[in-house]
Copies of this chain bind each other. A is one copy, B any other.
Amino acid sequence: MAEAAGVSQSTVSRALSGDPIVAEATRNRILDIARSLNYHIDAAASRTRSGRIETIAVVMVCPEHEDVRVLNPFHYGLLAAICSAASQRGLETIVSFQGARDRLKDSYEQGRRAMGIIVIGTSENHTAWNFFRNSAQNGTHIVCWGAPYDDLDWVRADNHAGAALAVEHLLAQGYKSIAYVGDNNCPQRQFAERYAGYVTAMEQAGKTPRLIEVAPGLSRHEQGRRAAQALLASGQAFNAIFAACDDLALGAMAVLEERGLSVPGDVGVVGFDGVRSGAIAVTPLSTIEPDFAAAGEVLVERMLASVAGEVAPRRRVPVSLVVRESSAAAAPQKATAA
């Protein structure tokens, strides 16, 4: 390559790395030749010499049994957003799906494969999250979404604002008796935040919050089904559900419809996450959707800051209300279902 261009190896290196010190004519000539030869810098050698690593490891935390189906479209959307945000900044992403406790791996940074690790995925694999918490304490650069702990460097949706958006929307649509379906004592910090946001918004509107706690250990969809059954069995009037996530909302909605209640009309429903199956449900689900692109950017931004020894200012990702059919106006005659 150097001899094809008639310059030294040093100059080729400088031209290809975009060093402005090389004469523009020289640089362009080298760039042209590189293109025609389909020559690219050897990334391994470049890293070895410079010590710079332009790669981020992304770990998707799976359940211990490694059945990836537990990961919902939300996690995948986040993964795509992270890879895209990294790519925009010229960074590469090494992706792994980790679940089984004997296959957990955090040595990307030690092995100079990546500058640090972005950890996302299910909050329910405590072993895995503990493992990465430990890595962070040992100095590995880790930024995460969905951690069951607050002491990792985290990024989260603006859950409080999102919950308020949902409550205000349901009230404006004529639903005055809104129950919250979700886990309150679960490891997912964001669920607690959504519940807190719901309580605040309800109280500001002079309404009494009502929590339908879900049973642990089941799929979100099944938890949603049981919550709706419990709500109906309670005999107390309600005419709307705000669920901590879309899968809970879809499960609840299925039961309501099986019991002959109309969604919307008899009951209004709003979920949280913006998953695709909500959009194509028989009754399309209104939801609070985080800005995925922003989520990817903020995660990458914090990683870069962390590696540079700084702390990035942003850690909350904005959310917006996506209005679909499940929260269309309440039926005026029967404003409460039993």
Give chain A's interface residues, CB within 8 Å of chain B.
38-45, 47-48, 53, 55, 58, 60, 66, 68-69, 71-73, 76-77, 79-81, 83-84, 87, 92-97, 103, 107, 110-113, 138, 221, 247, 250-251, 254, 257, 276-277, 280-282, 292
Q: Chain B residues with Cβ under 8 A from A96's Cβ?
A: 83, 87, 92-93
- A282 to B255 Cα, complex, angstroms: 9
The chain B residue sitting closest to A109, CB to CB, is B40
A273 to chain B, nearest CB (A): 13
- A110 to B40 Cα, complex, angstroms: 6
Is there an interface contact between A80 and B92, defined as CB atoms closer than 8 Å?
no
- A227 to B138 Cα, complex, angstroms: 57
- Copies of this chain, complex-wide, total 2
A–B Cβ pairs within 8 angstroms, 30 of them: A38-B107, A38-B110, A39-B110, A41-B111, A42-B48, A43-B112, A44-B45, A44-B112, A45-B112, A68-B84, A71-B80, A73-B73, A73-B76, A73-B276, A76-B76, A76-B79, A83-B96, A84-B97, A87-B103, A92-B96, A92-B113, A93-B95, A93-B96, A94-B95, A95-B95, A221-B280, A250-B280, A257-B282, A277-B277, A277-B280
A227 to chain B, nearest CB (A): 15
Indicate whether A276 sits within 8 Å of B69 (C-beta atoms), given known contacts A43-B112, A48-B42, A282-B282. Answer: yes
Given contacts A44-B53, A45-B112, 13 further A-B contacts (CB under 8 A): A39-B110, A43-B112, A58-B95, A68-B292, A72-B276, A73-B76, A79-B95, A87-B103, A94-B95, A250-B280, A277-B277, A281-B281, A281-B282
